[in-house]
C-alpha cells in the first residue's frame, strides 16, 4: 500500500521507509514466557511503560543471561500508534545482544537515528518524536527491575528536552558560552525544542517543570547581572590608567596594605607612595622606604621586584616602581 493511500499528502512523506515498513511488519513483536527463560537458564524481565501525553504504552520482554548479563533475546508489545510500534521494534533490535549496562545507555536519539533512511533526515515528524522517548523510558524501567534499583538512578541530570535528551546544565552552559539570545538559536545549537516542542513554553501537549523560554530568560538575566558586577568592579578598581591621581594612590595603597606591607613590617621596615607620574607607556610609581627597609640591600633588588610584580598583577602591567 502506498504512503499516499494511508495518510495522504506531505505528512506521510515525513516518515522514513524504515518506519513505515516496521509499522506494518514489526520484526520483534511478541512475548517471551517465563517457562522459556527458565528452560534456557535465563532470567525474564517484563517492563511496562505508558506515555501520559498520548496514551500509548509498550511492554518490553528481556531474556537475560544472569552470568554475563547479556540480553540474549528481547520482544515487545505495543499498545499505540504505528510510530510507537516502529520505535519499539527498533529499540528491541538495539537491545538484543547487549549487556544490561550497555542497553540502558541506548537513548531515544539512538532509536530515532537507527530508523532513518538518510543520516541527515529525521525518521519521524517532530510531533511523533515522543514515541522514541517512550522506547528509551521502557529500557530504563527494564534495567531498574533487573538491578533492583529505582528507575531515577539512571538519570544523573535534569532532562529538559526529552526528545533530544538535552539537560538543564547543558542548556545553561551553551547559552552562556555562545551568548544565545533566542529559543531558535538554542534549537540550532542543541536540537532542544526541535521535535515535539513541548519544552519550549507552557501550553504544549504535556506540562514540564522547565521550559526553554524560562531557562533562556534566567540565564540571560544572570549574564546581565554578571556584566553589571564586572562593570562595577572595573569602575571601582579596574581601569587603573583612567583613574585620577588620588584614585591611583588609593588603589596602590590598598594593594600594598593587602599584599606587601605586612612583610615589610615583619622585618622592621615600611614604605610610602610619594608620587605617581605618567611616562607613556608606563606609569611610574615613586616610593620611599622607611625604617629597616631604608638602605637595605634588597630594597633595590628582591623587595623592589616583589612590590612591582604585585602592583603589576593587581592593577596594570604598565607600572614601574622607582625608589627614591
User: DSSP secondary structure string, 137-187?
Assistant: HHHHHHHHHHHTS-GGGG--S-EEETTTTEEHHHHHHHHHHHT--SHHHHH
Mean pLDDT of 288-308: 89
The residue that leads in pLDDT, 121 or 26, is: 26
Whole-angstrom distance, CA of residue 87 vs CA of residue 123: 10
Per-residue pLDDT at 69 = 96
Q: Is 196 a catalytic residue?
A: no
Which of 24-28, 155-159, 308-312 is least confident?
Answer: 155-159
| Per-residue confidence band for 7, with pLDDT thresholds at 50, 70 and 90 | very low
The residue that leads in pLDDT, 232 or 128, is: 128
Q: Where are the domains of the chain?
A: 3-155, 157-236, 241-323
Per-residue pLDDT at 297 = 82
Is residue 5 pLDDT above 70, yes or no? no
The percentage of the chain sitting over the pLDDT mark of 90, rounded to a whole number, equals 49
| Per-residue confidence band for 6, with pLDDT thresholds at 50, 70 and 90 | very low
Per-residue pLDDT at 13 = 81
Whole-angstrom distance, CA of residue 170 vs CA of residue 186: 11
Q: Are 248 and 240 in contact (CB under 8 A)?
A: yes
Per-residue pLDDT at 124 = 86
Which of 37-41, 81-85, 217-221 is least confident?
Answer: 81-85
Is residue 235 pLDDT above 70, yes or no? no
| Annotated catalytic residue within 54, 95, 161, 163 | 54
Per-residue pLDDT at 270 = 93
Per-residue pLDDT at 1 = 39
Residue 105 neighbours by CB under 8 Å, 6+ apart: none
Q: Is CATH 3.90.1010.10 the right assignment for the domain spanning 3-155?
A: yes
Mean pLDDT of 44-65: 86
Is residue 126 pLDDT above 80, yes or no? no
Determine which helix (DSSP H) or strand (DSSP E) holds 232, and give its type and residue range.
helix 212-233
Per-residue pLDDT at 289 = 92
Right CATH for 241-323 from 3.30.300.130, 3.40.50.10190, 3.40.50.150, 3.30.70.890: 3.30.300.130
| Annotated catalytic residue within 95, 131, 196, 199 | 131
Q: Is 54 a catalytic residue?
A: yes
> What average pLDDT is seen over the chain?
86
How much is the pTM?
0.53
Per-residue pLDDT at 295 = 82
Residues in the chain: 324
Is residue 219 pLDDT above 90, yes or no? yes
| Per-residue confidence band for 12, with pLDDT thresholds at 50, 70 and 90 | confident
Per-residue pLDDT at 53 = 56
Q: Which of 99, 105, 114 is nearest to 67 (CA)?
A: 99
Residue 57 neighbours by CB under 8 Å, 6+ apart: 48, 49, 50, 51, 78, 79, 80
Per-residue pLDDT at 170 = 83
58-113 confidence digits (pLDDT tens):
999 999 999 999 999 999 998 888 888 999 999 999 999 999 999 998 888 889 88
Per-residue pLDDT at 156 = 63
| Per-residue confidence band for 238, with pLDDT thresholds at 50, 70 and 90 | low
Residue 315, classed as helix, strand or coil, is coil
Amino acid at each position: 500500500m502506498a504512503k499516499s493511500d494511508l495518510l495522504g499528502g506531505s505528512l506521510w512523506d515525513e516518515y522514513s521507509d524504515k518506519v513505515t515498513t516496521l509499522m506494518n511488519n514489526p520484526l520483534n513483536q511478541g512475548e517471551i514466557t517465563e517457562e522459556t527463560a527458565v528452560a534456557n537458564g535465563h532470567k525474564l524481565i517484563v517492563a511496562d511503560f505508558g506515555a501520559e501525553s498520548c496514551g500509548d504504552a509498550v511492554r518490553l520482554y528481556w531474556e537475560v543471561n544472569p552470568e554475563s548479563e547479556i540480553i540474549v533475546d528481547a520482544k515487545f508489545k505495543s499498545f499505540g500508534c504505528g510510530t510507537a510500534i516502529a520505535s519499539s521494534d527498533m529499540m528491541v533490535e538495539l537491545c538484543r545482544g547487549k549487556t544490561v549496562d550497555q542497553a540502558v545507555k541506548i537513548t531515544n536519539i539512538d532509536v530515532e537515528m537507527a530508523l532513518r533512511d538518510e543520516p541527515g533526515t529525521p525518521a519521524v515528524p517532530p510531533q511523533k518524536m515522543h514515541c522514541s522517548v517512550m522506547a528509551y523510558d521502557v529500557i530504563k524501567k527494564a534495567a531498574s527491575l533487573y538491578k533492583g534499583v529505582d528507575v531515577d538512578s539512571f538519570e544523573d541530570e535534569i532532562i529538559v528536552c526529552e526528545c533530544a535528551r538535552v539537560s538543564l546544565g547543558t542548556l545553561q552552559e551553551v547559552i552562556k558560552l555562545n551568548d544565545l539570545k533566542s529559543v531558535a538559536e538554542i534549537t540550532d545549537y542543541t536540537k532542544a525544542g526541535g521535535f515535539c516542542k513541548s519544552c519550549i513554553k507552557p501550553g504544549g501537549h504535556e506540562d514540564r517543570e522547565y521550559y526553554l523560554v524560562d531557562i533562556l530568560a534566567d540565564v540571560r538575566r544572570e549574564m546581565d547581572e554578571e556584566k553589571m558586577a564586572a562593570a562595577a568592579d572595573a569602575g571601582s578598581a579596574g581601569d587603573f590608567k583612567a583613574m585620577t591621581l588620588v584614585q591611583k594612590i588609593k588603589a596602590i595603597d590598598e594593594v600594598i596594605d593587602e599584599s606587601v606591607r605586612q612583610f615589610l613590617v615583619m622585618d622592621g621596615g615600611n614604605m610610602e607612595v610619594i608620587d605617581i607620574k605618567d611616562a607613556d607607556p608606563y606609569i611610574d610609581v615613586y616610593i620611599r622606604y622607611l625604617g629597616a627597609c631604608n638602605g637595605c640591600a634588597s630594597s633595590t633588588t628582591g623587595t623592589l621586584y616583589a612590590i612591582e610584580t604585585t602592583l603589576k598583577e593587581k592593577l596594570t602591567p604598565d607600572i614601574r616602581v622607582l625608589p627614591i
